[in-house]
């Protein structure tokens, strides 16, 4: 697997879609009034793509994998914040399932890429 640009990484593409969905869902009137949660979920979503891009620029597979692991953590953070948004009625059940599912797909893609990168060292 060789990437010339971080935009070619499937996990980054999925995370970008996830980020767009988070921004759209958190733009609602009710959600918008909860400044803390809105800021946290958006920061977590942005962190996923940013960590993938930053890790891609690193000089070693081990460093890249470390950043991908951070991206996985941010995806889990988005999922947790989604529960708060659902519980408060800021997102619908459908929005929750879609965004949560995107985060899950992204996490699996990141885990596969991490395994590949770390496996190349053996």
pLDDT at 118: 93
pLDDT over 60 at 33, yes or no: yes
Token digits of residue 14: 């999925």
Residue 3 pLDDT level (bands cut at 50, 70, 90): confident
pLDDT digits (tens, 9 = 90+) for 36-71: 999 999 999 999 999 999 999 998 999 999 999 999
pLDDT at 2: 80
pLDDT at 59: 85
Number of domains in the chain: 1
CA separation for the pair 112, 28 (Å, rounded)? 34
* Contact by Cβ (8 Å): 31, 15: no
pLDDT digits (tens, 9 = 90+) for 89-106: 999 999 999 999 999 999
Domain membership flag for residue 3: no
**CATH code, domain with 75:** 1.20.1440.60
Torsion angle in degrees (nearest 10) through CA of 48, 52, 54, 59: 150
Domain membership flag for residue 1: no
Claim: this prediction has a pTM higher than 0.85: yes
- The residue segments making up the domain with residue 70 are 9-119
**Centroid of chain to Cα 18:** 6
**Radius of gyration for the chain, computed over Cα atoms and rounded to the nearest angstrom:** 15
Domain membership flag for residue 4: no
């Amino acid at each position: 697997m060789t990437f010339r640009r971080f935009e070619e990484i499937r996990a980054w593409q999925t995370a970008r879609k996830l980020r767009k969905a988070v921004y759209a869902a958190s733009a609602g009137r009710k959600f918008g009034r909860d400044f803390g949660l809105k800021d946290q979920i958006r920061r977590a979503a942005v962190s996923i793509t940013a960590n993938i891009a930053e890790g891609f620029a690193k000089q070693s597979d081990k460093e890249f994998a470390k950043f991908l692991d951070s991206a996985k953590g941010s995806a889990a953070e988005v999922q947790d914040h989604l529960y708060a948004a659902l519980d408060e009625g800021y997102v619908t059940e459908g929005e929750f399932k879609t965004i949560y599912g995107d985060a899950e797909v992204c996490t699996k893609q990141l885990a596969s890429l991490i395994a590949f990168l770390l496996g190349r060292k053996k």
